[in-house]
Amino acid sequence: MTTSLTPTTWVSMSPDRKATLAAGLFYLGTFVFSIPALALYDGVVNDPDFVLGAGSDRGVPWGGLIEILTALTCIGTAVALYPVLKRYGPGRAIGFVASRTLEAAMICTGVVAVLTVYTMRQELAGTDATALTTTARALVAVKDWTFLLGPGIMPAVNALCFATIVYQFRLVPRWIPTLGLIGAPLLLIFSTGALFGVWDQVSGVGMLAALPIATWEFSVGIYMTVKGFRMPPVGHEAGVGPVASVAGSSTGR
């Protein structure tokens, strides 16, 4: 009896597909890592007596680690996508990398501020209470400002760089970047208002203003992970030729 074995054919991913898969996973990673940090930092940010030794502090180093991972995934999204995006909009691709890097730098600055309060609690307990609380409040203020200027403003800048490219060249369904292009000005308006004290940074207004941007980032992360980009044919990159022809005969693009 003769048995015929059919060899398995492995289809390797193209470099562009690998880039979008990595970027999609990094985008989803920013969501996974950013959510628990707020709860772990709650005592440092909201308890004026935290530095004096009141309450538990075990979650603070974990919060710092998680936020560092958030910062690294921020940079990862831009680094992974840059080789692809630079073919369509070189200036915007560089802007995307720069804004994501600046966002990550702001996050890391906030981590340093929080961990400094944690160190003061561990090593300076029993010293001048007034000096400790005053210094701790100043460091918490640094954390608050980095949260506004980093995760509060930079996602809007990211959307203006990244979403405009994928919208223009139809690399993903257009409803996805439309969310980012709607959310960017809303987030900038809210952040400007928070900067001048019109409303609190952490508030219901802030959640509503951030919702479109958050939905855009989550949606594009899912799409890049599952499907990747819809790559235009050669000759339509970098804006050569009519953008409308990129869609071909497909509908809803």
* Tens-place pLDDT, residues 232-250: 754 455 444 333 333 333 3
Count CB-CB contacts under 10 A for residue 32: 13
Q: Which position has the token pair 């139809």?
A: 170
**Residue 64: C-alpha distances to residues 109, 110, 118 (Å):** 11, 9, 10
Burial bucket for residue 198 (CB in 10 Å: 0-12, 13-18, 19+): exposed
Count CB-CB contacts under 10 A for residue 209: 23
pLDDT band of residue 39 (cuts 50, 70, 90) is: confident
Pairwise pLDDT comparison (146 vs 53), residue with the higher score: 146
Instruction: Please state, for a pLDDT cut of 70, what percent of the chain lies above it.
Output: 85
**Residue 77: C-alpha distances to residues 11, 87, 150, 167 (Å):** 25, 17, 16, 18
What local confidence, expressed as pLDDT, does residue 238 receive? 46
- Helix pair 154-168, 90-123: axis angle to 10 deg: 150
Is the CB of residue 117 less than 8 Å from the CB of residue 44? yes
Q: Nearest to residue 148, comparing CAs of 179, 198, 183, 190? A: 190
What local confidence, expressed as pLDDT, does residue 241 receive? 39
Is the CB of residue 50 less than 8 Å from the CB of residue 57? yes
What local confidence, expressed as pLDDT, does residue 55 receive? 64
**What is the pLDDT averaged over residues 40-64?**
85
Q: Does the pLDDT value for residue 209 go beyond 70?
A: yes
* 71-101 pLDDT, tens digit each: 999 999 999 999 999 999 999 999 999 999 9
Q: Does the pLDDT value for residue 6 go beyond 80?
A: no
Q: Does the pLDDT value for residue 222 go beyond 90?
A: yes
Burial bucket for residue 141 (CB in 10 Å: 0-12, 13-18, 19+): exposed
Is the CB of residue 26 less than 8 Å from the CB of residue 99? no
pTM across the whole model: 0.84
Q: Does the pLDDT value for residue 126 go beyond 90?
A: no
pLDDT band of residue 182 (cuts 50, 70, 90) is: very high
Q: Nearest to residue 30, comparing CAs of 111, 104, 93? A: 104
* 132-159 pLDDT, tens digit each: 999 999 999 999 999 999 988 999 999 9
CA 114, 116, 119, 123 torsion: positive or negative?
Answer: negative
* 210-219 pLDDT, tens digit each: 999 999 999 9
What local confidence, expressed as pLDDT, does residue 79 receive? 97
Inter-residue long-range contacts of 82-89, CB under 8 Å, 24+ positions, other chains counted: 83/15, 83/19, 84/16, 84/19, 84/20, 84/229, 85/162, 85/165, 87/237, 87/238, 88/165, 88/168, 88/169, 88/171, 88/237, 88/238, 88/239, 89/161, 89/164, 89/165, 89/168, 89/238, 89/239
Pairwise pLDDT comparison (6 vs 226), residue with the higher score: 226
Burial bucket for residue 135 (CB in 10 Å: 0-12, 13-18, 19+): middle
